[in-house]
Amino acid sequence: MTIVTQVRLSENGAEQWDAAMQTRVDAAKDRPGWVAVQLLKPVDDSLRRAIVGTWASREDWAAWHHDETFVETRAQLDGLQDGPAETVWYEVLAGSHRG
């Protein structure tokens, strides 16, 4: 399962948000069911971000939300965003990557 979350950051929050999200991404790598993650920034909008996370199951992703690092970074990230995040789940039908 892949989840794509898009956020808009507050005017002065990008650097702090990126650092907090990197901490969260590093911690997720050790979680059961974690497959991959990408943190993306559009080339034409320095205040938008997209997080593309792939997990073995939605249950694994949900369990990750109880992890200490996730909980700690949630308050930091929410305070740096300009509005709510938009989230969409996708089933992975096909994929490829260079190993």
Annotated domain spans of the chain: 2-90
Tell me what the mean pLDDT of segment 69-93 comes to. Answer: 89
- On whether the 2-90 domain is CATH 3.40.50.10680, my answer is no
- End-to-end alpha-carbon separation of the chain, Å? 20
pTM: 0.86
> What token pair was written down for 91?
């089933």
In terms of pLDDT, which residue wins out, 92 or 86?
A: 86
- The Cα 82–Cα 99 span in angstroms is 36
3-state secondary structure of 94: coil
Cα–Cα distance for residue pair 41/14, rounded to 1 Å: 10
pLDDT at 3: 95
